[in-house]
Amino acid sequence: MSKFYEGSFTVEGHRFAIVVSRFNELVTQRLLEGALDAFRRHGVSDGDIETAWVPGTFEIPIITKKLAETGRFHAIVSLGAVIRGDTPHFEYVAGEAAKGISHVSLQTGVPVIFGIVTSDSLEQALERAGSKHGNRGFDAAVSALEMASLIAAIK
Ligand code: INI
């Protein structure tokens, strides 16, 4: 029979970090609440979660790298909100964050979950931060649980 691996959502002894951007804090504070809610509801204690605030989404990769390199975390959640209406730099900010996060993840072997909302308007961003399209922060934390557990299963 072939062997297959699958992550679960119940992890024991796993530690998680969250890197959250202060830019568009109205949205990111809600994403953070969603992520913390998901971790707690899946049995992760507050003592096993560390959160770092960064000025903007562009700064997420460097702090994610620092946290990953400590070796303390089984997965890291990145949270931000990049709104097209706010800036002509939309593509740079969102694109560089995506590239940087992916690079950190592959380089360190620590799964980094992309919980960055990209939208055309503040209204659309809020819809993904706890209103009609769910909460991307909650979803990102659930993905972090699954990835941490999947990696543990493969090891
Ligand atoms: N940062 C965001 O997180 N979201 C944005 O929508 C945004 N806009 O619109 O510019 C943004 N800019 C700041 C950027 O992330 C850096 O903090 C800044 O450029 C300093 O490096």
pLDDT single digits (tens) 19-78: 999 999 999 999 999 999 999 999 999 999 999 999 999 999 999 999 999 999 999 999
Confirm or reject: Cβ of 80 under 6 Å from ligand 1. yes
The predicted structure's pLDDT at residue 132: 87
**pTM for this model (two decimals):** 0.96
58 lines ligand 1 (CB under 6 A): yes
The pLDDT value given to residue 12 = 83
Determine the pLDDT at residue 1: 83
Say which residue the tokens 């992916």 belong to.
102
The pLDDT score that the predictor gives to residue 33 is 98
> Phi and psi dihedrals of 130, rounded to 5?
115, 5
Q: Please tell me the predicted confidence (pLDDT) of residue 7.
A: 87
pLDDT of residue 9: 87
pLDDT at 86 over 70: no
Q: Would the pLDDT of 13 be above 80? A: yes
Catalytic residue list contains 89: yes
Nearest protein Cα to ligand 1, atom 5:
82
Greatest pairwise CA separation for the chain in angstroms: 54
Q: Given the CA of residue 58, which atom of ligand 1 is nearest to it?
A: 15
Mean pLDDT of the chain: 95
Q: Is the dihedral of CA 136, 126, 99, 53 positive or negative?
A: negative
For residues 37 and 93, what is the distance between their CA atoms, to the nearest angstrom?
27
